[in-house]
Structure 1
């Protein structure tokens, strides 16, 4: 398989100052990529841009106008955009009985609508470069955990967006990839593992099907996927069968990963906080 060289490729990445965004941006910079760094945290963004010699672009992924303005600035600055990485995302844990419509909608708006807006805003420039659009999804696209309906729905939906858009833009020479890592250390996961509800569900992510992998493994596989302009990247690769046959394995995963009593205890814990 032919691999593209990332040196001097212009890469725009949302959520660039987050846990995965930081490490991924650093490794892309080491590859010689020219980075359009996009995030809502302006102070972290300015520091990151100085460290990586990138272009800092404050972006709110819940606003199409904000993303369109950032993409236009990136294209004006670099003269092109070759690769888009829709990385911004959040999570919230709560059972339906106590979760709010506002929280559910916020996760959907950032995790699902945000990447759609990112792809839409980037499309005119990616069309010119016959480039590549990548979305950071999750194994939650295939394995749907209790107390995370919003997150599971957003990541399953984002996988569907990638599959749909890929067919729309193929004639333009554009490739679209979805990336599905399992649990890995990050500020997002720090919140999960420090939460008694998360600990009850996933046992601290220390063993079994929910065991965390290193962020270095995640970033390495993402970069390899980008170099290959891959359609589907499951991280780690050994979980690919589960991802591709998720419907077949769903009952087993639910029985193996979530005991009914533990779900009830997690719901009780969530209602105490």
Structure 2
């Protein structure tokens, strides 16, 4: 004969909002830090125009190669160099009752991430001095792995803990245990409103004439703000409210 096991005591019900014997306190912690930017992003748009599609593409390819070679001469100063959208499109014009291709327009976009701000001004000036080249930026930023992010999160947690202790002291009691800690958001900003540097423009692509090196631009980095927010819930030792 098999004995039926005796059921154990039922687990205590969970009360997410606390009970008179286990009160809770939920607080918010915030942090605001400022730090110098660590990197800058710029976008380079190269264009070409011609009456022949193959010639337009060849001009764009040559301009792209020249630009990549220029940027790569800065070595480790360039943390990242990426090629974006490449486009070749015809420009149509009305000819009698029909349309014909008047010209071809080509463009290619590059994005560079630069860590040396002294070299940044020189790079931007040299790129903007090229024909049919547009520079947008810089956008200043912290690296995703920057220790400033962790510092802001730690400060937000410490503020939440301090705030909870102050509430406990106001009730003449103390904190018990941490129930929950939620990251409600980390924000980095502001970024500099980007400027646009446009180079000389020609009607049709062609060989770039030799020119002396452009004077480096004096670019002032914009300090970045890092905001962190957390919510924390603690139990309280039941206070004596009598």
TM bucket, shorter chain:
under 0.3
Kindly indicate which of the two structures has a greater share of residues assigned to helix: 1
